[in-house]
Structure 1
Amino acid sequence: MTARVDILRPSLRPLLVWWPAFLLGLLVLVAIFAPWLAPLDPDRQDLLGRLKPPGYEGRSGATFLLGTDELGRDILSRVIHGARVSISVAVLSVLLSGIVGIAVGMAAGYLRGWTEMVLMRLVDIFLSIPAILLAIITVAVLGPGFINVILVLALTRWPRYARVAYGQTLAVAERPFVRLARAMGATPSRVLALHILPNIVGPLLVVATLEFGLMVLFEAGLSFLGLGVQPPTASWGAMLSTGRNYLATAWWIATFPGLGLFLLVLSANLIGDRLSDRIGEGR
């Protein structure tokens, strides 16, 4: 029995490696094509069909595969559109925070001196404040909404990229090919863009992958508190907030968006772990 298991293990490895990427890709495709995949309008209400269980057939003949919510809206359609909101916020906030953090970290690690001192002390100040607390305070000041949530999440998470970029830049900046580029008269921006950034992109990609999952959770948390994307726009966090009031009578309202959050964050974190292992093996 043991020998047979050992024989099967190599054939299972590709599946164990690639299924998180497949799952994440599937969720991204669902988000992109949400208007065409959703069977019904996610905002259409039917108070006579409220709080119906999965499989309920409405008066119009439509089947609500995942049931309806407290306003009679189709849970499946709202979960599909909620994936678009969560993934869009996560991707845009990761891109924005990554651009800011990488630029700050690389500038501090390469220019050194007073620039390093000022920028890294600024990073320390932001890191000393709990990220979710800073996000809640900032959203409360700016107001809820799609754009504001992206700006807030980018504002709270850029220091992590800055820390990694700073450490990696310090290590690469003293290598012979960077010294040669400086000796040949290359400008700091050219050295950073063409010689340092390509050599530190691996660790930064790992950070971005793990931050993607955190951004999804932060967006859901803000929406859960009523500080994220506002109704009637479907959001997994807002659906969880509503569903908690109906756990005893309509468990499906909170269960399915919660499952979507779980799968999305799990796949992103597993991909990040795999990338980290690959980068470690390549060193």
Structure 2
Amino acid sequence: MLGGWPDQAMSRTVDLFMALPPLILALLALSVTGTSLVTLTLVAAFLAALRVFRLSRALGLDLATRDFVDIARLRGEGTLRIAACEILPNAAGPLIAEAGLRFVFAFLFVASLSFLGLGVQPPMADWGGMVRENAGALNYGGIAPLVPAAAIALLAISVNLLGDRAAGGRTGR
């Protein structure tokens, strides 16, 4: 189908960025542009998009070699119709499950940056910042930092369960 040098160029660019640790990329971007909410969102979205690109490409390449795609080609369907009617519905399940994972990883990433003092800045609230502000209570047996940490864990589990449920049985033919 499609591919060639544009596919190779995008794949190598994504591989280059994925070879660097996400925290280092985020610290670099935040040091250059500042710690605004827009910057945090864009950095988290960029880092998540790298993984989604790799998964989407792998799913597309795998599904493009299946028999039902060959049958659609033999019926005379065009590339866009095959992508929309054959490949996308079969890739939907893994992509929905991946969307849940990417949301959780982006949320944890922003929370960890907030814990380090580089994420969401006061007066806006963030669970990572709440853990940082109350970390001293652990020395005295307080549970204050455990409450936002438990909320982060509960959110992560809930979103993953919802993503798996929404993906349902749509994990390919």
Normalising by the residue count of structure 2, what TM-score does the alignment of the two structures yield? 0.83
**What code does the residue aligned with 1:126 have?**
F
1:205 aligns with 2:99: no
Q: Verify the 8 A CA contact 1:140 1:227 in the aligned structure 2.
A: no
How many correspondences in the alignment?
170
Aligned mates of 1:271, 1:165 — CA distance in 2: 20
Q: Which residue of 2 aligns with 1:179?
A: 73
Q: Verify the 8 A CA contact 2:138 2:145 in the aligned structure 1.
A: yes
Q: Aligned residues: percent identity?
A: 37
What are the within-5 Å matches in structure 2 for residues 120-131 of structure 1?
120-131=11-22
Aligned mates of 2:129, 2:4 — CA distance in 1: 47
Q: Verify the 8 A CA contact 1:243 1:250 in the aligned structure 2.
A: no
Note closer, same or farther for the CA distance 1:178–1:151 as it changes in structure 2 (3 Å cut): farther
Note closer, same or farther for the CA distance 1:225–1:178 as it changes in structure 2 (3 Å cut): farther
1:255, CA displacement in angstroms?
Answer: 2.2
Q: Which residue of 2 aligns with 1:8?
A: none
1:165 aligns with 2:56: yes
Q: Which residue of 1 aligns with 2:35?
A: 144
Aligned mates of 2:34, 2:16 — CA distance in 1: 24
Residue deviations 1:60-111 (CA, integer Å, cap 9, x gap): xxxxxxxxxxxxxxxxxxxxxxxxxxxxxxxxxxxxxxxxxxxxxxxxxx52
Q: Which residue of 2 aligns with 1:196?
A: 87
1:136, CA displacement in angstroms?
Answer: 2.1
Larger Rg: 1
Q: Verify the 8 A CA contact 2:92 2:167 in the aligned structure 1.
A: no
1:125, CA displacement in angstroms?
Answer: 0.8
Note closer, same or farther for the CA distance 1:222–1:266 as it changes in structure 2 (3 Å cut): same
Aligned mates of 2:134, 2:80 — CA distance in 1: 51
Say which SS state the counterpart of residue 226 (structure 1) adopts: coil
Aligned mates of 2:112, 2:3 — CA distance in 1: 38
Residue deviations 1:226-255 (CA, integer Å, cap 9, x gap): 221110111111111111133335834312
Say which SS state the counterpart of residue 27 (structure 2) adopts: helix
Aligned mates of 1:178, 1:223 — CA distance in 2: 50
Q: Which residue of 2 aligns with 1:62?
A: none
Choose from 124, 129, 132 the match for 1:233.
Answer: 124
**What code does the residue aligned with 1:215 have?**
A
Q: Verify the 8 A CA contact 2:93 2:169 in the aligned structure 1.
A: no
**What code does the residue aligned with 2:62 have?**
A
Aligned mates of 1:193, 1:132 — CA distance in 2: 36
1:277, CA displacement in angstroms?
Answer: 8.2
Q: Which residue of 1 aligns with 2:2?
A: 111
**What code does the residue aligned with 1:223 have?**
S
What runs of 5+ residues in structure 1 fail to find an aligned partner?
1-109
Q: Which residue of 2 aligns with 1:268?
A: 159
1:271, CA displacement in angstroms?
Answer: 4.3
Name which of structure 1's ranges 149-158 and 128-137 shifts more when overlaid on structure 2.
Answer: 128-137
Aligned mates of 1:119, 1:154 — CA distance in 2: 17
Note closer, same or farther for the CA distance 1:192–1:255 as it changes in structure 2 (3 Å cut): same
Q: Verify the 8 A CA contact 2:113 2:119 in the aligned structure 1.
A: yes
Residue deviations 1:150-186 (CA, integer Å, cap 9, x gap): 10011112121111111111122241254247x44x3
